[in-house]
Chains A and B, each alone.
Chain A
Amino acid sequence: MGPIEILFCTVVVIFAFIGSVRGAHRELGNSIILMYVVAILRFADERGWIERSVQVIRIVDVETERINDVAFLLVVIVFTAVVIVSYQGLTFDFSTKALVGVSGFLAGLGVGALNGYLIAGTYWYYADRYGYPFNLLTGPLTPVGQILLGYLPQTIFPNSMYWAIPATILMILRILR
């Protein structure tokens, strides 16, 4: 397998194309949810709530050195569940009105790419945060990968609650008619 940043960029590109097909009016609804989830997960992480919840759940008797693996698994399960729910079935669409033409395509592409960045970036951040459990990374990170680590959704802002600002503005726009 190639460097992790190739996988990251591939996911972003795939989501960008999904966004161009679904349309910005649908993708923006997912963006709102994903931005809030990124903020909440990081908020919980900063306070050590994820590790604490691993101790509290105690589904298996976790050895001390495997706490990182289980914590990563927990974050992945919660985040994946949110992503699936936000995309599947009745979705939280931003609007019924669709943007058409080239601008609509580009808007869908852009918002889809943002969603891909939020999703792939979150997985990457927590994989890095918990030391790449389950042999997710076998070699050292490339210089590009090390640079990109500083620009993941959880690291681009000093505080992940920054993501709540655009999410809240979009939410207000959605509610106001």
Chain B
Amino acid sequence: MTDEIQVLIALILWLSFFGWIGVQRGYVAELWLLAINVLSWVLLQERGDIVVRLTNFAGKFLALVRAGGLTAETEEAVRIVAEAPNVITEDNRQDFLFLVWALIVLITFILTSNPRLVKPKPNKSLGFLIGAANGLVFAALLLPVLNNFLQSINFQQDGGLSRLFTVIGSFWTLFAETLGGFWAWMLTWPAGAWLLLITALLLLIAWPLRGSAAGKK
């Protein structure tokens, strides 16, 4: 089998999967996802500086609050803001914008899956087509990122099964390292941030449960 046929089959499988999701979710939801997906990507690539500046501004404001700058003299507050490092630098700018885009897509997917917000209209073929179009956009945006990672994997043996295990192992290592890094970063949080996180998570769980009197076991 030539490489072109393999690529074609992989693409058909990929698009069929997204088309099937489109049929399940309905074409209106898929259309919203497609529009926001493309629009947010283009805007973040072209005008991403606005989001970066806003985030850095928020970071500096937090640094000001933590240093007690809100009650300090103007010169002192200016010094604190000037000395506070930027949260988003040139090194992590692209990663940050990708994360923002991924979050926008995820939130859009969740919101448009809610039948109360987007009423599903029965048109399977249109749903399949727009779903496949979404798959094409995701392929164009996500596959280069995955490809960068796959190219960095060093395959020791040629066997099919060992290659599969190497890829899965590499993904697992990446996941574990990222989680470890995130945990190490969380350990540097001040007590107030932990309190906010615990309270917010508990409220998130408790909020849908409110309103019904607690009873017996």
Contact = CB atoms under 8 A, between A and B. Distances in A.
Interface in B169-217: 187, 191, 194-195, 198-199, 201-203, 205-217
B211 A177 contact: yes
30 contacts: A24-B205, A28-B206, A29-B214, A31-B202, A90-B216, A93-B215, A93-B217, A94-B209, A94-B214, A95-B209, A95-B210, A95-B211, A95-B213, A96-B215, A97-B208, A99-B208, A111-B202, A147-B187, A156-B194, A158-B191, A162-B195, A166-B198, A166-B199, A170-B202, A170-B203, A170-B206, A173-B203, A173-B210, A177-B210, A177-B213
A80 interface: no
Interface of B: 187, 191, 194-195, 198-199, 201-203, 205-217
A84 interface: no
A162 B214 CA distance: 25
Contacts of B198: 114, 166
B201 to A, nearest CB: 7
B211 A165 contact: no
Contact of A157 (B195, B203, B208): B195
Nearest to A117: B198
Nearest to A98: B209
Contacts of A156: 191, 194
B187 A97 contact: no
Contacts of B187: 147, 151
A148 B6 CA distance: 50
Nearest to A29: B214
Contacts of B216: 90, 93
Contacts of A111: 202, 205
B209 A24 contact: yes
Interface in A67-87: none
Given A24-B209, A151-B187, A95 B199 contact: no
Contacts of A174: 206, 210, 214
A92 interface: yes
A92 B199 contact: no
B210 A176 contact: yes
A103 to B, nearest CB: 9
B205 A28 contact: yes
A96 B208 contact: no
Nearest to B190: A158
A169 interface: yes
A147 B188 CA distance: 12
Contacts of A92: 214
Contacts of B208: 97, 99
A91 interface: yes
Given A90-B217, A169-B203, 13 more contacts: A26-B217, A28-B209, A94-B209, A95-B209, A157-B191, A157-B195, A158-B191, A162-B195, A166-B195, A170-B206, A173-B203, A173-B206, A174-B206
Nearest to A151: B187
A159 to B, nearest CB: 9
A93 B201 contact: no
B187 to A, nearest CB: 7
A165 B202 contact: no
A107 B204 CA distance: 9
B213 A110 contact: no
A161 to B, nearest CB: 11
